Amino acid sequence: MASSDKVPVACPASTGEGKEPMGDPTKTTTAMLDKGTAMLQSMKPIKQMSLHVCSFACYSHDPGRQIEVHMYGHRVNQDFLQCAVYDSNSSKAHLIGIEYIVSEKLFQSLSPDEQKLWHSHDYEIQMALLVTPRVPELVAKPELKNLAKSYGKFWCTWQIDRGDRLPLGAPSLMVSPQDVSLGRIKPELVKKRDEEHGISTESLKPSREGIYGPEKKNLIADYWVRFRTGFAIDVVETDMKRTAPFPTAQESRNASWNQLLILRGHGSRRDHELQIVSDDCAHKKVWFLIA
């Protein structure tokens, strides 16, 4: 079965050439229908997105694999952001995952096992790896100060850097850049990002002075930094619950066999014992109390 830290079984979606997803070009009629429905529908969840940041992320099981990410966030409240993560900011960007961002206060309320899945943001902000494209630093700084004290949980659902042309396998937990050898972003990735967006990471660093991380840095977040242990997901078969949400009449009868049924009727009070044979030939005994 699939695992987030293993190469998927070879198939056209995993071995194709080029970055474009598999599939035929969109038909003109389909494109027209899309434009029409977009005019009629509200798209309210998408319209709530008000924050765009660009940064880098590493795979939890292999920090040497690093990708550029663009996060588009919706502020649910003062302590919680939910973000759609893309591999670029172009109109053809691929949706590669989701990241949830919580304040220090909310993070401290999580269980230790849950905290292991989260990463801090202060280092990548202080080093200007995380930027707000097209927004002046002076305008962005209050938001950057808030983000530097936050924690994120990022699941990558499409390992596009591996060459996958469709989302394959299990989601992979991602971690943020850190000031350790495995957590430092490759210079060529930063250079490529800077050239594409017309920025200079080095020149932005002085403007990040005065931005600090959480008041009390949690020692369980960024788990891999201290324990050199990553996390991966294995897809395994498991028994499923077989109770139907809307049981059939026969299933309802089967479910009531082991229950005491009270029936109202005429005549004297008496107990009746019935032997019932179910569909699987297992004999069940039911008592009917008739009043």
DSSP secondary structure of 148-176: HT-EEEEEES--GGGT-SS--SS-EEEE-
Q: Are 4 and 233 in contact (CB under 8 A)?
A: yes
Neighbours of 36 (CB within 10 A): 10
Cβ atoms of 138 and 115 closer than 8 Å: no
Q: Is the distance from CB of 285 to CB of 264 less than 8 angstroms?
A: no
pLDDT at 287 over 70: no
* Under 8 Å between Cβ of 10 and 16: no
pLDDT score for 223: 96
The predicted-structure confidence for 40-89, as pLDDT tens digits, reads as follows 998 899 999 999 999 999 999 999 999 999 999 999 999 999 999 999 99
The tokens for 84 are 């759609």
Kindly report the three-state secondary structure assignment for every residue of 227-265: HCCCCCCECCCCCCCCCCCCCCHHHHHHHHCCCCEEECC
pLDDT of residue 251: 63
Q: Is the pLDDT of residue 261 over 50?
A: no
CB distance 96 to 69 below 8 Å? yes
Phi, psi (rounded to 5 degrees) for 109: -85, -10
Give the DSSP letter of residue 92.
Answer: T
Q: What ranges do the domains of the chain cover?
A: 45-227, 249-290
Residue-wise pLDDT for 198-245, tens only, equals 999 999 999 999 999 998 888 999 999 999 999 999 998 998 887 777
Q: What percent of the chain has a predicted confidence (pLDDT) above 90?
A: 66
Residue 12 has pLDDT above 70, yes or no: yes
Q: Tell me how far apart the alpha carbons of residues 167 and 171 are, in angstroms, rounded to a whole number.
A: 9
Using one digit for the tens of pLDDT, what is the confidence trace for 129-140? 999 999 999 999
Q: According to DSSP H, which parts of the chain are helical?
A: 12-15, 28-40, 44-47, 104-108, 112-115, 122-126, 137-148, 187-197, 201-204, 223-227, 249-256
The C-alpha atoms of residue 90 and residue 189 are separated, in whole angstroms, by 17
Q: Which of 246, 84, 50 is nearest to 156 (CA)?
A: 84
Report the pLDDT value the prediction gives residue 115, as an integer from 0 to 100: 98
Mean pLDDT over each residue of the chain, to the nearest integer: 86
The least confident of 103-112, 150-159, 238-247, 270-279 is 270-279
Name the pTM for this structure.
0.81
Could you give the CA distance from residue 190 to residue 170 in angstroms, rounded to a whole number? 28
- The pLDDT assigned to 289 comes to 43
Confidence of residue 20 (pLDDT cuts 50, 70, 90): confident
Greater confidence (29 vs 12) lies with: 29
> Which pair of tokens denotes residue 127?
């080093």
26 burial type by CB count under 10 A (0-12 exposed, 13-18 middle, 19+ buried):
exposed
- Length of the chain equals 291
DSSP letter at 7?
A: P
Report pLDDT for 241.
Answer: 83
Report helix, strand or coil for 291.
coil
What pLDDT score was predicted for residue 18? 59
pLDDT band at 15 (very low <50, low <70, confident <90, very high): confident
